[in-house]
Structure 1
């Protein structure tokens, strides 16, 4: 008979009906998936608002401090370490691996391609299966890939998941930091985020891993291996409490580790999705999937005896994780996605209240209103977060802009950087006339004027017909 635990750290933030729906879905996953134990949780706006567990043992269920092996969720941690190196200028994502870690069969592929699984490398190591054998069988980096045909596809062309690719990224971190990747992870990521129960090897209390017979209700213990050099592909153990902290970080970033802009970069698809419906893709160390109409980012994970899933829905302000200790059965990545969908259905996110600017700047206010790209009408609005929002009024291009870094920080120096849409990364310049007034806007050579083909004729590419607008 199963036992459940439903009282989470902040359960008063959800309605009783939501609690019941989440518990019911968790209980079904444990029973139908025939897993010895299952623990899961939901976050809203970075805070844990529900957690629950089920177990095969009467009167006992795991709490948020019990470790489970999280498998390929480890890759999200390794990706953060690599991007920290990029932020410090120690590497560029376009660098070939051989520039920093020479002598491997993957010297020519780039760091970005390894992060995005688009390097074309083999999916697995040469036999025996690395997940169920001790890492001492592969003492050298050269042992991680086949010597004759390590590359299966042209680099950069398609997504092809590669566990050895992430082992190479872990070795890259070790080479540039001068110490084991696990120690770098503890110091640079886990400790700053308060994740003290995430470790390379299990530390009590931890769950044992099992295989459940497909045709009978009996179990077989799985080996708890130390995969050594393959560790960056799936070695980590963690807890529900620590994964809640990790989910909050992946949703919003933390300047102690990586900022929100870099996390947003990780969430963007790195190569074109192969399925026509665009149900899944991969960014820089993060999986992307669509579930019931919402876009999720995070990762799934599995190792013999364990499965895991963690997803973030940025649009809903929700995240969820699930951990189980069976090799197969309970689809924990799907469960985590379902917990997000259930919470969003029962308690949809409330829009943030509209608030005005804290202070009015007349120069910025004067920029708002209609602008024309040729004869195409657009509207420029100033939002409360001091972002300029350009909207096409005819179904054309639009983007948001923020003050360019290195300037005044207010945009009053006339330089802005595009945040999204067609003008993402492009520069908006406020061009002034000789008298100091605004002449026109220049966005990547596109001229916007206050009237259709208005303003100084010399500012409009190709000039303006001197006779102006006419009837025919």
Structure 2
């Protein structure tokens, strides 16, 4: 990794180091290492260790646990984008004979298939994968489900064993090899591997009531590997965070990654703090919404979070089973950086060229009597804002056929069309059958159901 000594202000670097040092000391972990990114570039790296003068570098491998699931999800979405499967496909269409029959690929990705959280038998994270030689061994045959499919989010590690097997079935080779060739190589992630390669940290358990440690076994979990097997470095996972934020033409598009971080199952009632997309976790930390994933395996904890609004991301590892709240620590490193050095907006610049027909669409529009305004943005995009107390706002992406597709909230995926009068002038806007006119409820022929012939009047 390049020298990051001047990327952040000294006060910011001090605050980040302080937070990391507190985590290592109070969390009683042999080591903790972290990297912060801004706009896809590493801007700070820090580490603390129990060994004086021997702090881990950004090239030391740690086990990343369930962050592995984000890699598997990307492999599955690549299959979808190539047309080899549909997210609505039942699993048995591609992987017959598993206890997950009846669940869809999307439900597996979002942990909403209702499958059990863990495997039957001994704790899979600490036992050799040879104990589970077939897919039938990763779920109870008698009661594989704990909830009806598609109803609730219920985190399931065996689910990702099935998804790894799905990748292998459709690609015809081990999922780890598919990952290396299709994802890790294009992203130059040469230090992300299924088994540890030196230099790597050892994993430990720390006694709860005494300052003594116990080495944890470094197991090969076999079929369960897609749920948490990978080892990586903060340098490599920084590249992964940058990819998850912006996409890569040889791996997965930005549009598909946006789809992955959209909540797939509604959160429980009340103020939500955590939900799940397609292989990505979403959390609220203070006023921020972050996406990424946490991870843990015996001897290790890890966190990777991205704040789209701040243009920041952070990666954190520790090598203790009950680590220093690594997921929380990762979120706090983002908050510290954002509070000390808030994102500076890009300078306003005028459009390079103007389409007069598009310019004529801008200004006030009314959905019934609710006032809105339409603005023209770069790349022929449109932005609908609410002026009054009711209405729905959205951004719209221009399409080649002269329509626009909604990107946000209620209008996400809906089509905006310009409806023209017989003389070619703009009559009204149609957004998913909602009519927007230049005047409140007018003209009558554009409004569904027509208008009272007496028009607006006092009572």
TM range (shorter): over 0.9
Q: Which residue of 2 aligns with 1:294?
A: 288
Q: Which residue of 2 aligns with 1:277?
A: 271
Shift, 1:467, TM fit = 4.1
Shift, 1:58, TM fit = 1.9
Q: How does 1:69-468 map to 2 (within 5 A)?
A: 69-274=63-268, 276-395=270-389, 396-404=391-399, 406-407=400-401, 413=402, 415-455=403-443, 457-468=444-455
In 1, are the aligned partners of 2:365 and 2:373 still within 8 Å (CA)?
yes
Q: Which residue of 1 aligns with 2:60?
A: 66
TM-score computed with the length of structure 1 as normaliser: 0.94
Q: Secondary structure at the match of 2:380?
A: coil
Q: What whole-Å deviation, never above 9, does each CA across 1:25-66 have from its counterpart, x for those lacking one? A: 111111111111111010011000000111111221110111
Q: Structure 2 vs 1, CA of residues 241 and 14 (structure 1 numbering), >3 Å: closer, same or farther?
A: same
In 1, are the aligned partners of 2:300 and 2:323 still within 8 Å (CA)?
no
Shift, 1:386, TM fit = 2.6
Q: What whole-Å deviation, never above 9, does each CA across 1:231-266 have from its counterpart, x for those lacking one? A: 000000000100110111111222221111211111
User: C-alpha separation between the residues in 2 aligned to 1:371 and 1:55?
Assistant: 61
Q: Secondary structure at the match of 1:13?
A: coil
Task: Give the number of aligned pairs.
Answer: 458
User: C-alpha separation between the residues in 1 aligned to 2:9 and 2:203?
Assistant: 34
In 2, are the aligned partners of 1:355 and 1:384 still within 8 Å (CA)?
no
Q: Secondary structure at the match of 2:18?
A: helix
Q: How does 1:1-16 map to 2 (within 5 A)?
A: 9-16=3-10
Q: Secondary structure at the match of 1:336?
A: helix
Shift, 1:454, TM fit = 2.3
Moved more, 416-425 or 186-195: 416-425
Q: Secondary structure at the match of 1:11?
A: coil
In 2, are the aligned partners of 1:67 and 1:202 still within 8 Å (CA)?
yes
User: C-alpha separation between the residues in 1 aligned to 2:18 and 2:455?
Assistant: 70
Shift, 1:87, TM fit = 0.7
Q: What whole-Å deviation, never above 9, does each CA across 1:307-340 have from its counterpart, x for those lacking one? A: 1011001111110011111111322111111100
User: C-alpha separation between the residues in 1 aligned to 2:414 and 2:47?
Assistant: 48
Q: Secondary structure at the match of 1:12?
A: coil
Q: Secondary structure at the match of 1:28?
A: helix
Q: What whole-Å deviation, never above 9, does each CA across 1:190-244 have from its counterpart, x for those lacking one? A: 1111101000011111111111111111111111100010000000000010011
Q: Secondary structure at the match of 2:42?
A: strand
User: C-alpha separation between the residues in 1 aligned to 2:334 and 2:138?
Assistant: 37
Q: What whole-Å deviation, never above 9, does each CA across 1:132-154 have from its counterpart, x for those lacking one? A: 11101111110111111111111
User: C-alpha separation between the residues in 1 aligned to 2:12 and 2:458?
Assistant: 64
User: C-alpha separation between the residues in 2 aligned to 1:9 and 1:154?
Assistant: 51
Match of residue 36, structure 2, among 42, 61, 72: 42
In 1, are the aligned partners of 2:301 and 2:323 still within 8 Å (CA)?
no
Shift, 1:275, TM fit = 5.8
After superposition, the CA RMSD in angstroms is 1.4
TM-score computed with the length of structure 2 as normaliser: 0.97
User: C-alpha separation between the residues in 2 aligned to 1:333 and 1:445?
Assistant: 44
